[in-house]
Amino acid sequence: MAEPRKKTALITGILGQDGSYLGELLIRMNYRVIGTSHRADSVTEVSLAGTDVPVHPLDIGNEHQIRDIFERFQPEEIYNLASRSSSSQLFDDPVATADINGLAIVRMLEAIKNICPNTRFCQASSSEVFAKAGQSPQDETTPLRPRNAYGAAKIFAQNMVEAYRERFGLFACSAILYNHESPRRGQEYVTRKVASTAVRIAAGLTKTLTTGNLDSRRDWGFAGDYVRAMWLLLQQDTPDDYVIATGETHTVRELCQLAFSRVGLDYRDYVAVDESLARGQEQTVLCGNSSKAIVQLGWKPSISFVELVNMMVDAEKVKLAGEMTPSYK
């Protein structure tokens, strides 16, 4: 008897933190995984969960490329994780941000409508859509009010997902993701910067960590939990949007205290504050209420904040040990 055909999932931005965790999750569930990246000219495949996953070049600003790859693979599920997303990109190029984080999603929705209307689509949205909402915690009914180009573009994309869902009957969803971290986070993010620098200070390789406002609060979760939520969105009977968050906030100070204590140090002896690194006055504490996801999706975080910080610090220890191990020929 022939084996049943595997579901095909297409992940844009597969080379990022979320893409790698999602790819591994889907492979373990016996999906055929296809990845795309604007960096695919130099990376043609990536190994995830012991499987070589092809990575195809895709400029999500190019309508023809989007149509071609959707038509070629006819995926049952598409997860759009491609985005201008680091804190340094919140307002540095609003035109590019509007195109990549906003208009590109309309290009994808149009391609799905015209080429593969039965495909299920998940858009990775952001807590930044609530940055000026004036209420905390936030849920799916909270007014969408951004404070930068990144949040504004994410709102446009989220609104268009809802519009295509209602107007054309597409199975299109937005996962409103709060801050989610892991050892695979880029060095430009504060969680990875703190974990890495604490380990390097303990090893005598550097002396101080310079950061912004220590009292800034974030709702931080584990990226592996959040990609599981995105998968659950697309397994429901009806499409909808969901806030994905831990429901608790922690300060950068707490992050530093935990990271440095993990390596046997007191953060107060090593952390310097540079106000120029702060993101400005934050009008709303971004804390997500995931009750809807908990009840309807059966989702909840599996990793606590303390466990997350310890995981990231321990991973930095392993990485540094590997860098410092001499190689012999």
Share of the chain above pLDDT 90, in %: 86
Q: Is residue 259 part of a domain?
A: yes
pLDDT value at 219 more than 90: yes
Could you tell me the pLDDT band of residue 259, with boundaries at 50, 70 and 90? very high
- Of the candidates 128, 181, 254, 316, the residue annotated as catalytic is 128
160 and 261 belong to one structural domain: no
128 in active site: yes
Q: What pLDDT, in 10s, does the model give residues 162-205?
A: 999 999 999 999 999 999 999 999 998 999 999 999 999 999 99
257 and 196 belong to one structural domain: yes
Share of the chain above pLDDT 70, in %: 92
- Residue 322 is predicted with a pLDDT of 87
154 and 76 belong to one structural domain: yes
274 and 139 belong to one structural domain: no
Could you tell me the pLDDT band of residue 38, with boundaries at 50, 70 and 90? confident
257 and 168 belong to one structural domain: no
Give the residue-averaged pLDDT of 144-160. 96
- Of the candidates 83, 126, 196, 290, the residue annotated as catalytic is 126
234 and 257 belong to one structural domain: no
CA nearest to 158, candidates 101, 196, 119: 101
In the chain, beta strands by DSSP E: 8-12, 32-37, 45-48, 51-57, 77-80, 120-126, 171-177, 180-181, 209-211, 217-218, 221-222, 242-244, 250-251, 271-273
Count Cβ atoms below 10 Å from residue 154 Cβ, excluding itself: 29
- Residue 1 is predicted with a pLDDT of 54
Domain that holds residue 141: 8-181+221-244
121 and 212 belong to one structural domain: no
Could you tell me the pLDDT band of residue 39, with boundaries at 50, 70 and 90? confident
d(CA 162, CA 169): 10
Give the residue-averaged pLDDT of 154-165. 98
Give the CATH number, domain containing residue 49. Answer: 3.40.50.720
Looking at per-residue pLDDT, the higher value among 42 and 130 belongs to: 130
- Residue 148 is predicted with a pLDDT of 92
- Total domain count for the chain? 2
Q: Is residue 105 part of a domain?
A: yes
Q: Residue 151 CA to chain centroid, in angstroms?
A: 14
76 and 198 belong to one structural domain: no
Highest mean pLDDT among 78-87, 203-212, 268-277: 203-212
58 and 34 belong to one structural domain: yes
328 in active site: no
25 and 73 belong to one structural domain: yes
Q: What is the mean pLDDT of the chain?
A: 93
Token pair 């310079």: residue: 210
319 and 203 belong to one structural domain: yes
Contact 119, 151 (CB under 8 A): no
Q: Is residue 287 part of a domain?
A: no
- Of the candidates 31, 79, 150, 267, the residue annotated as catalytic is 150
282 in active site: no
Give the residue-averaged pLDDT of 238-246. 98
Q: What pLDDT, in 10s, does the model give residues 267-322?
A: 999 999 987 766 656 779 999 999 999 999 999 999 999 999 999 999 999 999 98
26 and 112 belong to one structural domain: yes
